[in-house]
Structure 1
């Protein structure tokens, strides 16, 4: 979990979201729909994005999990976090952790080549405040900021 090993005991039906929030205490991952429809609970498992409300914690044993708390590093914010701030890619902020986690994956997966592609690959993350133009601008900026690091 975010580069640190955690050994926890959970009931077989405990979701990854519940384990993160209630057992480990990482509350940056948000609970919203509890059905995998809104993306507020997006985390990375082995570098791939998943909805934490739709997977069981026991299924993630031995996998590398990154939450919003672990996205940045010792040197500061991740480029996507910085771009969301620069572009006002949030309003109420509730969906922001999931949006940022999905945006980082979208870029690293190579699905941020055009506005249309970004919209398609971010379509599983809902923003009830409709900050979509700012989110799109943030992803474009982060993609540009991350290009030299990927090259």
Structure 2
């Protein structure tokens, strides 16, 4: 299952991504918002991150105006690796090299077509392990020491 959430800056793109995911037969859990009313992105990032950590959802997609704020908030949760991606290459690398479990997008930065391509690439890419696992494990060690 894919967890998805956005603030007001990512709401329009979130709707398009949800349509795409449902057409591709992904199961989606929407963590809000349900309108373009202003909200604080940490209030969306936290429940999406928690759904992944608690194994309710396999991966997550978060969208705010730039993708930056919502990814920073999500990355405060131990075990989350949220990656802001502005192109499909970044999306593929975030999965293959970093084992990102949340994709963060900027609704005011990328268009719908690019956003859908990024989502498609990210979901189809797999973690390569090997030397990348060593690096991800080092990130986990940093979390253990600083995110208590």
TM-score, length-normalised on structure 1?
Answer: 0.32
Greater helix proportion: 2
Max radius of gyration: which structure? 1
Greater strand proportion: 2
